[in-house]
Chains A and B, each alone.
Chain A
Amino acid sequence: MRKDVRILLAYPIEIAFWIISPLLWVVPLIFQGKALIGGLHSTAFSNLAGTGEYIPYVLIGGIFSTYMFTAIWSMGNALRNEMFYGTLEHILSSPVRPFYILVGKALYNSILSTFFVAVQISICVIFFGLTITITMIIPIVFFLLLLMIGLYGVGFIAAALTLLIKESQGILHLFEYILFLFTPIRYPVEVHPITRAVSVFIPLTYALVALRGILLGIEFDFVKNSLVLLGLDAVIVPLGIWIFMLIEKRTKTRGTLAHY
């Protein structure tokens, strides 16, 4: 973990990027909303989302989806980066399973992402009027934890696919686009039957409903969202690990482990 922090500190622009990107991401949506409906309050939006507060709605979507994308990017790129450094084979010839290397990356990333989220929420409190109380913190951490566990499963799949096709950008962008489309990051998934149907299989959907519920006071079923997230985690994590181990073995058999 210390190694990754030291390498990150060698690229300070990267830190600034991760902190401000979700906020910059929100601004065009605000302008879009103003251009389309002449303001930031829409009855149609309110009927679907349970809140007419569009800016906090998309800000929360932006911040917590970035939390998730950082995790997926970090794990998906973990082995890819080692390939570029030329260190992958040296790591893999040490008595540490690649699985644990990825878990290490994921833990490092969780801490880093939590720091970014804390900074972003502080900015939202100061500049965008988001209200946060001390009683919100424990349920927020609880749902973030459930979200992160599921994301590790997705991260294992992303890392496995990167090992397989030797290219991470395309896969990770594809993951992003799918999640943008089928989860309530920018809009309520109720907007279309297909988005609603697909979203039920994605942990981020339940996490965002819960986090928005906590932060914006929108009514939601705490127990149901917790249990569904737990259930999805229980499926996605073992599935991710299984896929990763399968593809790791395949690359070792085919001799493509350190290929670019």
Chain B
Amino acid sequence: MSEKKNIVLKGLVKLFKKKRKDEVRAVDGVSFEIKEGEIFGLLGPNGAGKTTLIKCISTLLIPDEGTATVGGHDINKDPLGVRRMIGVLTGGERSLYWKLTPVENLKYFAALYGVPRKKTAERIDYLLELMDLKGKARERVERLSSGMKQKLSIARTLIHDPPILLIDEPTLGLDPYFARFVRGFIKDELHGKLGKTVLLTTHYMDEADELCERVAFMYNGKIKALDTPVLLKQSMPQEQVLEVKCLGDLDKEMFEQLPESVSLHLGKLDGLTYVRMNTDNPESLLSRVIDTVRDRVKVLSVIVTSPTLEDVFVHLTGASLKDDYSQRQQNDRRDR
């Protein structure tokens, strides 16, 4: 990988004024660098400040403090230079003209980016082929499925062949088939073949684990940790995770008698409760946990695994990611 830095952030701050004199520091002194050709993940729950940061980098928001350069262009001094270097992809369907066909959409965005007419035709042909959308090239976007729309959004993002991609929650709302396609496309095509620099935001921890060479945890506008997924997981004080799946409700107070060194996370999915505990000695913990919960719930399974990025996040922030956890687990289950 090149040592050239394609995105450099220095002390970026974005404030939003609320009622009267209250203000929220949506991005609070964020600094990091992304190398050319790297996939960099920005992880955090909803409201962590990820999208605000992406908007600052893509010049849609003016930061209150700090600087950033994208492809060597300063976001404050040369926003047009920045925009020429980037492609922005967001999750969700509504980023295209539904009354136009895929070809018309791509032609319009190519014109906005000043792609020469001859090259536009070549790019459209290449991208529709790549996205397996050639058969739908002349149909109105409104008639395409959600997954096809997202594929077309990817094609739109790539129409001017930008070296840097800002991808915000790319699999949000997609069914497992298309979510898998998008993840595979980012990893194999954008990173592997095309060598793009990718800044990816997600609140799906295993998506980041699968795709990113380095990840930064973002929480309350701040970067809490930044490293490779492997090193982040190795940074956990405990080496293993004991996961107990139960039928019924549990609450954290029931586990107060556990040793302080044990980090506990409760998650819910489809009426089932998942208890995850980071520990060095799952065997010794197991009987105590079973004794604690057996009168309240029915224990369905017990497994011992390695820590995930989610466990690291919970350990670092103490924040519950219950909803995100449940959603991700649901997607994973469907994937299988």
Q: Please give the residue numbers on chain A whose beta carbons come within 8 Å of chain B beta carbons, in ascending order.
A: 2-3, 6-7, 10, 85-87, 89-97, 249, 252-255, 257-258
Contact = CB atoms under 8 A, between A and B. Distances in A.
B138 to A, nearest CB: 12
A255 B60 CA distance: 8
A7 B104 CA distance: 11
Contacts of A95: 80, 83-84, 112-114
Contacts of A7: 97, 99-100
Contacts of B172: none
Contacts of A94: 83, 109, 112-113
Taking residues whose C-beta sits less than 8 angstroms from the other chain, chain B's interface range is: 35 or more
Contacts of B83: 93-95
Contact of B86 (A3, A87, A91, A93): A93
Interface string B98-117: 11100010011100111000
Contacts of B16: 254-255
Contact of B52 (A6, A96, A254, A255): A255
Interface centre among A2, A10, A93, A257 (most CB of B within 10 A): A93
12 contacts: A2-B108, A3-B108, A7-B100, A85-B97, A86-B92, A87-B95, A87-B97, A89-B60, A89-B88, A89-B90, A94-B112, A253-B64
A252 B109 contact: no
Nearest to B89: A90
Contacts of B109: 90, 94
B20 to A, nearest CB: 15
Contacts of B98: 85
A161 B113 CA distance: 27
B94 to A, nearest CB: 3
B88 A93 contact: yes
A257 B60 CA distance: 8
A90 B62 contact: no
A10 B61 contact: no
Contacts of B88: 89-90, 93
B99 to A, nearest CB: 4
B59 interface: yes
Nearest to B112: A94
| The 3 residue pairs across chains A and B that have the minimum distance between CB atoms | A86-B94, A10-B99, A94-B112
Contacts of A96: 112
Contacts of B156: 90
Interface in B24-38: 26
Contacts of B95: 86-87, 89-90
Interface of B: 14, 16-17, 26, 52, 55, 58-62, 64, 80, 83-84, 86, 88, 90, 92-100, 104, 107-109, 112-114, 140, 156
Nearest to A91: B112
A254 B17 CA distance: 8
A211 to B, nearest CB: 35
Contacts of A92: 60
Nearest to A92: B60
Given A90-B156, A93-B88, A94-B113, A255 B14 contact: yes
A253 B94 contact: no
Contacts of A257: 60-61
A252 B58 CA distance: 11
Given A6-B104, A93-B83, 11 more contacts: A3-B97, A89-B60, A89-B90, A89-B95, A94-B113, A95-B83, A95-B113, A253-B64, A255-B14, A255-B16, A255-B55
B100 A3 contact: yes
B64 to A, nearest CB: 8
Contacts of A86: 92-96
Contacts of A3: 97, 100, 104, 108
Contacts of B84: 95
B69 to A, nearest CB: 16
A90 B113 CA distance: 11
Nearest to A9: B99
B96 A93 contact: no
A82 to B, nearest CB: 9
Nearest to B166: A93
A96 B59 CA distance: 12
Contacts of B80: 95, 97
A91 B14 CA distance: 22
A6 B100 contact: yes
B258 to A, nearest CB: 43
A85 B261 CA distance: 51
A87 B96 contact: yes
Contact of A252 (B61, B93, B97, B113): B61
A6 B98 CA distance: 11
A253 B112 contact: no
Contacts of A85: 94, 96-98
Contacts of A6: 99-100, 104
Contacts of A93: 58-60, 83, 86, 88
